Amino acid sequence: MKDLRQQALDYHASPTPGKIAIAITTPAETSRDLALAYSPGVAEPCREIAQNPDDVYKYTSKGNTVAVISNGSAVLGLGNLGPMASKPVMEGKALLFKRFANIDSFDIEVKHKTTDEFINTVANIADSFGGINLEDIKAPECFAIEKALIERCKIPVFHDDQHGTAIVTAAGLINALEIQGKDIAQAKIVCLGAGAAAIACMELLIKCGVQREKIYMLDTKGVIHTRRDDLNEYKKLFANNTDKRTLSDAIDGADVFVGVSGPNLLSPELLNTMADKPIIFACSNPDPEIKPELALATRDDLIIATGRSDYPNQVNNVLCFPFIFRGALDVRARVINDEMKIAAVNAISQLARESVPAEVLAASGDDELVFGREYIIPKPMDPRLCSSIASAVAQAAIDSGVAGLPYPSNYHNSLITEIT
Ligand SMILES: NC(=O)C1=CN([C@@H]2O[C@H](COP(=O)(O)OP(=O)(O)OC[C@H]3O[C@@H](n4cnc5c(N)ncnc54)[C@H](OP(=O)(O)O)[C@@H]3O)[C@@H](O)[C@H]2O)C=CC1
Ligand SMILES: CC(=O)C(=O)O
Ligand SMILES: [Mg+2]
C-alpha cells in the first residue's frame, strides 16, 4: 500500500487537479436560456441592484459565498510558505465549507508587500462575498488585519486560526475538564505558542471561566512574563508575574497543555511532571507537539487531542468555521461577535454529550463513540453540527442585534445543509 504522502499527492492530482470546482445553478442550454442568463436578460438584475444594493442578495450568489483569503504567512504549522504553497490548504477550507455547510467558497491567495496593501486588497473585493474567512496569516499582523477589515467591511470577517480554533478549543476543554473532574476556574494552563491561535484561544478560555493569572504562555523565547521587554501588545496581555522561564518550569503541576506552536515540542519527561489527570491539546498541524501514541505510552491518566483526522479527539477549527458562517449568512449578520462565538462553544460542547448516529460511526470507522476520554468533541462528519451550531449562532446574532434578517423558518427542520 502507498504511504500517506503519495496517497495525499495522488488525491490532490486526480481525477482533476485540486479539490473543488464551480457548478452552474440555472439552465444554460438554449438561446432563450442565454438571453436570460447573459445579454440581454442579465441587464435586468443589474438595473435592480443599481437601484437597490440589497437586491444583490436576491439576484446573485453573494449571500451564500465566503472568500477564504490568505497570504500564506503561517501555513498550518509549516511556517511562511507564501501564497501559492498555501493554496491546497485554502482549497481544502473551501471543500469543507461546501461539504459541511453547503457554502460556496473561493480561495484567494494574496501576494503583498505591506500589511496595508493586504488590507486594501481584501477590503476592495469584500463586497463580492457574503463573508470573509481569513486563514493562515501569522501573528502579530493578523490582529491588525482582522481589526481593520472588520471596520471596513459590511460583511462578517473572521480569522479562522484565531476564533475558529478558540471556539473548538474552548468546547473541547470544557468537556475534557469535566471528564477529568477539574474546575475550569482552578485549572493551571500552559499554552505553548503565542501567535494567532494561542492569543485567541486563551482570551476565549478566560471568557469561559479560566483565570488569566493561571495561564503560562510561551513563545520561542520561553515564558511570557512581566520582566520581558520584547513583547508585542498582544503577548503583553499574558505577561505573568512569575519566576518561571522555561517550558519545564511552567508545565510542572499544570492541569492543561495547549500546543499551538510546532511539532514534537512536548517531551515525555515534561509530560510526566504535569498534575494528575492532565489534558493535552497538541493542536499543531500536521505534526502535533507530542504524538498521541507517545503521550499514552508515557502515562495512562491523560486526555489527548490533536488537530488531525486520524486520531480520536480532533480539536480543529473545521468543527466551527463552516457552521458559524452558515448561521451568520442565514441571518445576514454584519459581524461575528462574542455572543455568536460563545453560542458556538456551547453548541459544540453539548453535542459531544449526545448519542452518536450510526452514519457518523460508519464515517469515522468507530464501533462506538461515547462522551469520555476518547470522545470529548463531535466528529466533523456529524451532520448535527450544522443544525445545532448554525441555529445557536443565528439566534445569538439576532439577540445581540447584529442580524439583518429574522430567524430562518427552515431552521426548524433537522438538517440545514439539506435545505439551504
Ligand atoms: N488544530 C487547529 O485547529 C489549529 C491549529 N493551529 C496550529 O497552531 C500552530 C500556530 O499557528 P498560528 O497561531 O496560526 O501561527 P502564528 O505564526 O501566528 O504563531 C506561531 C506561534 O508559535 C510560536 N512557536 C513556534 N515555534 C515555537 C517553539 N519551538 N517554542 C515555543 N513557541 C513556538 C511562535 O513564537 P514567536 O512568537 O516567538 O515567533 C508564535 O508565537 C500551527 O502549528 C497550526 O497548525 C492553528 C490554527 C488551528
Ligand atoms: C487547522 C488550521 O487552520 C491550521 O492548522 O492552521
Ligand atoms: Mg489555519
Rounded alpha-carbon distances, angstroms, from residue 113 to 82, 84, 107, 206, 327: 12, 15, 20, 35, 34
Distance 140 CA to ligand 3 centre (A): 15
| CA proximity to 215, closest of 172, 223, 71 | 223
Q: Report the separation in Å between the CA atom of 259 and the middle of ligand 3, taken as the mean of its atom positions.
A: 14
User: Whats the size of the chain, residue-wise?
Assistant: 420
CA neighbours closer than 13 Å in the CB half-sphere of residue 86: 28
Is the minimum distance from the CB of 138 to ligand 1 under 6 angstroms? yes
- Distance CA(315)–CA(375), nearest Å, equals 11
Ligand 1, residue 169: give the atom nearest the CA. 3
Question: What are the catalytic residues?
Answer: 38, 93
For the whole model, what pTM was predicted?
A: 0.97
ipTM of this complex prediction, to 2 decimal places? 0.99
Q: In tens digits, what is the pLDDT along the chain, a chain of 420 residues?
A: 679 999 999 999 999 999 999 999 999 999 999 999 999 999 999 999 999 999 999 999 999 999 999 999 999 999 999 999 999 999 999 999 999 999 999 999 999 999 999 999 999 999 999 999 999 999 999 999 999 999 999 999 999 999 999 999 999 999 999 999 999 999 999 999 999 999 999 999 999 999 999 999 999 999 999 999 999 999 999 999 999 999 999 999 999 999 999 999 999 999 999 999 999 999 999 999 999 999 999 999 999 999 999 999 999 999 999 999 999 999 999 999 999 999 999 999 999 999 999 999 999 999 999 999 999 999 999 999 999 999 999 999 999 999 999 999 999 754 444 434
For residue 42, the CA-to-ligand 1 centroid distance in Å is 47
| Ligand 2, pocket-test mutation among 97, 167, 316, 318, most atoms within 8 A of CB | 316
**Three-state secondary structure call for residue 131:** strand
Atom of ligand 1 nearest to the CA of 76: 45
